[in-house]
A and B are shown apart, each in its own frame.
Chain A
Amino acid sequence: MTEPQHHSATRKKRIKGFEGLLLFVFLGICWQLTTTMLPLRNASLYPTPAVTFKALIDSLPELLKGTWSSFLILVPGYFLAVILGALWGIVVGSVKWIHRAFDPFAKVAAPIPPTVYIPYAIALMPSFRISAIMVVFIGAFWPVFVNAAAGAALVPLRYRDNAGILGFGRFEYMRRVVFPAALPNIFSGMAVGLALAFILLTVAELFGANQGLGRFVQYYADYADYPRMVAGILYTGMVTFASMALLDFVKRRVLFWVR
């Protein structure tokens, strides 16, 4: 009676923690099988893992250069959005009359898909880089702002009471209480904002860049070099993942007190 249970228990224990990895292995096998075993009509559209991997290694210098170029857009746009979104969100969330003044505009402007700004931004701004920074900024600003404002508006009564008892002035209250209390929300907004920033970055690069990650993919698609194109997609995925992981790491360090 107990034997099979024991077996399945140890098996579960062995797999535990590796389920995610197993899925990658499974998908890799599927990729290998579909590209080598199936009689595909247009084989060049489906590069095998080996060919793709070689293309990835070969174009690594170009990809790294493209990453640098992309980050010159992403980093300024994103960080500007985080700083201004968090500050303005805290102000709007905690000062009632400013909230009344700004909230209707935010409700209308925030839901506009930021991709629609791209053509106009490119036409408006003197260089592609500045227009792309602007679009990334707009895209990342709203999630950070909306979350920061919500966090600031919902500062628990107990913190407000404490601030009152300690005799905090308005600025001290914002800095020492509202800001830390809203930080979990700000980080949620930052995660959404970062994902959006990557989308906007690559879409903007499809439009008008002469280098960068999105540009890399578009360029090799134009030349029907699908191994490099797929390598570019995978590489972009890895960069995005690494950036999100970094943000998550920072979040854990900063929000150590959130349980």
Chain B
Amino acid sequence: MSGTDRLTNGDNKKDPGIALSIEHVSFAYDTALVLKDINLTVAEGEFVAVLGPSGCGKTSLLRLLAGLEKPGNGKILHQGNPVTGPNILRGVVFQDYSLFPWLNLQDNLTIAINKARKGLGRAERNKIAEEYLDLVGLQGMATRHPYEISGGMRQRAAIARSLALGSPVLLMDEPFGALDPVNRVRLQDLLLQLCRSSSTRRTIVFVTHDVEEALYLGDRVVVLGTTPGRVIADINVPFDGKRQRRDLFLAKEFRQLEEEISALYHEDIERQLEAGSVAFGAGALI
């Protein structure tokens, strides 16, 4: 609500190619250290999947990027400007609560459209809302309320809302985590399709604990270790834009990467176990 970072990035623009940069960021809940010395940059238009087991602080990282939490140490920059609070420059799709239950889909979207483009008439706003609903495959659902539709449809609407908000950066916190496998795949494909279309292309940070999902969606996969959360790997996904799900999952390179990441996970857990047997660090409380 107190989004104060500026809409324009004038003189203090550091690097035109960098959308988000996280510099030496640490974050703690009370005394428990959640994230330790995170350094990360996200380029404009890049799709970064942040992968990590539960409890690694990946949601905290996303909330920090959104401006919903403040880092204990370090700084977070969006196009060179420090992030001081939530701002419509960075849209967020949560796991299952991005919509207001008392508003129908159209009204949920027009709230966002109102913010993105001021001074539109009601009819115009409704028309734009319907266009965005069409875009995510929710034709004719404008007057439905969130409780009347399935979880998959709700997430479609949530994506439509963040697109309608016009944010150049989209932060997604396990948006498909609560969906059944079929809907999950459908929405993954929808998201990729939207990413490839120039009008809806965004810089995306996508948090997930699913290795396949991260590799399928991300141009880059950042792997977080636990206790405290820190970057243990930063992998460029070498497959090009024209991915076919089936081919990809059969590809040798894909399987190899998947195994590598699983190995990294394991290593991290073993290290935790060893550290735990030596001393109870503050992180052991998590």
Contact = CB atoms under 8 A, between A and B. Distances in A.
B1 A170 contact: yes
Contacts of A176: 100, 111
Contacts of B214: none
Interface string A161-195: 11111111110010011001001000000000000
Interface of chain B: mostly helix, strand, loop or mixed: loop
A167 B68 CA distance: 12
A90 B112 CA distance: 24
Given A164-B68, A164-B85, A257-B147, A169 B98 contact: no
Contacts of A177: 100
B165 interface: yes
Contact of A165 (B91, B101, B102, B147): B91
Contact of B1 (A158, A167, A256): A167
25 contacts: A159-B100, A161-B66, A161-B92, A162-B94, A162-B97, A162-B98, A162-B100, A164-B1, A164-B66, A164-B67, A164-B85, A165-B86, A165-B92, A165-B165, A166-B112, A167-B86, A170-B1, A173-B1, A176-B111, A180-B100, A183-B102, A256-B145, A257-B101, A257-B102, A258-B101
Interface residues of A, number: 21
Interface of B: 1, 3, 66-68, 85-88, 90-92, 94, 97-98, 100-102, 111-112, 115, 145-147, 165
B147 A167 contact: no
Contacts of B112: 166
Contact of A164 (B86, B100, B101, B165): B86
A169 B90 CA distance: 17
A259 interface: yes
A167 B67 CA distance: 11
Contacts of A257: 101-102, 145-147
A163 B68 CA distance: 11
B101 A166 contact: no
Most buried by B among A164, A165, A173, A183: A165
Nearest to B2: A164
Interface in A218-257: 256-257
Given A166-B112, A168-B1, A161 B100 contact: no
Contacts, number: 57
A167 B94 contact: no
Interface string A86-122: 0000000000000000000000000000000000000
Contact of B88 (A159, A161, A166): A166
B165 A161 contact: no
A181 to B, nearest CB: 8
Given A165-B88, A176-B111, A183-B102, 6 more contacts: A158-B97, A161-B92, A164-B1, A164-B85, A165-B92, A167-B88
Contacts of A161: 66, 68, 86, 92, 94
Contacts of A158: 94, 97
Interface string A18-49: 00000000000000000000000000000000
Contacts of B111: 166, 176
Contacts of B145: 256-257
A176 B91 CA distance: 19
- Top 7 A-B pairs, shortest CB-CB distance: A164-B86, A158-B97, A180-B102, A257-B101, A167-B88, A257-B102, A165-B92
Contacts of A256: 145
A83 to B, nearest CB: 20
Nearest to B112: A166
